[in-house]
Amino acid sequence: MITKKSFLIKQKVISVLLLFSVFAFGGIIYTFRTSSIIDSRNIKLIEYSEKVEVEVFNGRIEMDNFLMQRDSLSFNGISKSFNEADSYLNRLESILSENKNAAPESNEQFELKLSETKASIAHLDQLIKSGNYLKKQSLDSTMLRSYLNFNRIFTEYEKALQNYINESNSRLKKEIFFLLVAIFFILLVSLTLIARLMDSLIKADRQILSNTMDVEQSERRRIAMDLHDGLGAILSSVGMYSKILEKEFLENRPAAEKLKHITNLSNQALQAVGEVINNLNPSILNRYNIVESLDRLCAKINSISEMKLEFDSSKYSGEMTKSTEVMLYRISGELMNNSLKHASADKASIHLSRQKGRIILSYQDNGIGFDMSKLAMHGNDKMGLSNIVERVESIGGHCELKTSPGEGFVMNIEFN
């Protein structure tokens, strides 16, 4: 059930990442496409506006040539220039009709000025095509006013065009800004969701490890009981019967010696089985709490070895779960064994305390120490350090290890 939950959490994390990626990618594509469309439209508007201005200017030149030279080709050139200008204005209107939603206020103003420019050109073209200027040597006041009016209207048109382009770009920038804000907000939401999902995943993994430890502890207890009730009872019976036979064969010394040897072997086997049973399920924890159990373990080490071991629990109070007690007891025993067998230490200490709701176990010896970098590099784990770290992390704890050649060994274990 927990494994399925862990799988579902991982699926949710992947889904959140995919959704954010799709939204961010879609936002980037939208921004790039919109920016390209607006840039292309603005370029066309400027290009056609410049062509209108050029054609009107060419029409004015052709008009001056006609008045000076009375050339009919120049007259045709005037009409052609204004027709071209009108054609470009029609294209400008077509572009505007395709982008009605772009910068509505400036769009209306630009359309108005575009219509006025178109009307002004049409008026000039009508005056020229009326034919009155074929007989005149210069522009009359009506034509001059019309041309000056066109220059004024076209200047206003250019300002409206610039304002239209600026507002279009401003609107695009606002859209990009809001899009970035939305992406940032979705990113924060996604990170929050991912953090919560990862926290749930970590809790699920810890629960799996905790359940594994509980199952392991139950199995150890069952195996220890089976050994005690099965093999232990058989070895006890062997020892008892060999002692009975010893008494019956007192006169037969060779047989009595062999029976005595069998009795000693059965006692040794029974003692070995007892040690295995104690390692599988420390019976001392069934009778005493963790403080008394560690105190007795230290006393035992002091009595059978030359290493001086000190135990301090003056700053510890409260209780912990049985599985945690078993874990701490085994870790302490393993660290003591490392100090004796590998570190050649003659002095060590254990401090058990509770600070701000957290349990702290500190172990220190004055042994030969070792190089942590070389240990990690070569994967040498004969001291079972990774196993200890995994046990602590399985209950949400943290390990801090300090050692170097000739500087002893220190391990601090902290957990809720």
pLDDT at 66: 63
Decide: 396 and 314 in contact? Cβ < 8 Å.
no
| Residue in 18, 37, 41 with CA at minimum distance from that of residue 29 | 37
d(CA 139, CA 125): 14
Task: Indicate if the pLDDT at residue 399 is higher than 70.
Answer: yes
Eight-state DSSP code of residue 251: S
**153-210 pLDDT, tens digit each:** 878 878 887 887 788 778 778 877 887 788 788 777 777 777 777 777 777 777 776 6
Task: Indicate if the pLDDT at residue 381 is higher than 70.
Answer: no
Q: Give, rounded to a whole angstrom, the gap between the first and last alpha carbons of the chain.
A: 25
d(CA 212, CA 199): 20
Give the lowest-confidence range in 32-41, 71-80, 179-188, 324-333. Answer: 71-80
pLDDT at 279: 67
Task: Indicate if the pLDDT at residue 101 is higher than 60.
Answer: no
pLDDT at 70: 57
pLDDT at 380: 47
Give the lowest-confidence range in 85-89, 133-137, 201-205, 361-365. Answer: 133-137
Decide: 285 and 293 in contact? Cβ < 8 Å.
yes
**122-162 pLDDT, tens digit each:** 777 777 666 555 555 445 567 667 777 877 887 887 888 78
- The more confidently predicted of residues 108 and 413 is 413
Rg for the chain, CA atoms, rounded:
48
pLDDT at 9: 62
Mind giving me the DSSP string for 165-201?
Answer: HHHHHHHHHHHHHHHHHHHHHHHHHHHHHHHHHHHHH
**Structure tokens of 41?**
């439209």
pLDDT at 200: 75
Q: Which residues contact 157 (CB under 8 A, 6 or more apart)?
A: 49, 110, 113, 114, 116, 117
How far out from the chain centre does Cα 73 lie?
76
pLDDT at 90: 81
Confidence band for 27, pLDDT divided at 50, 70 and 90: confident
Mind giving me the DSSP string for 48-105?
Answer: HHHHHHHHHHHHHHHHHHHHHH--HHHHHHHHHHHHHHHHHHHHHHHHHHHTTTSSHH
d(CA 233, CA 224): 12
pLDDT at 2: 46
d(CA 259, CA 243): 7
Give the lowest-confidence range in 6-15, 308-317, 360-369. Answer: 6-15
d(CA 359, CA 351): 11
How far out from the chain centre does Cα 120 lie?
64
d(CA 310, CA 219): 33
pLDDT at 138: 47
176 exposure class (CB count in 10 Å sphere: 0-12, 13-18, 19+):
middle
Confidence band for 4, pLDDT divided at 50, 70 and 90: low
**255-281 pLDDT, tens digit each:** 777 777 777 777 777 777 776 766 666
- The more confidently predicted of residues 139 and 60 is 60
The β-bridge relationship of strands 347-355 and 308-312 is parallel
Decide: 409 and 360 in contact? Cβ < 8 Å.
no
- The more confidently predicted of residues 218 and 298 is 298
Percent residues over pLDDT 90 in the chain: 1
For the segment 22-50, the average pLDDT, to the nearest whole number, is 78
Give the lowest-confidence range in 96-100, 173-177, 381-385. Answer: 381-385
Decide: 213 and 323 in contact? Cβ < 8 Å.
yes
Beta-bridge partners for 414: 360, 398
Q: Which residues contact 229 (CB under 8 A, 6 or more apart)?
A: none
pLDDT at 63: 67
**384-394 pLDDT, tens digit each:** 777 788 778 77
pLDDT at 137: 47
pTM exceeding the 0.85 threshold for the entire prediction? no
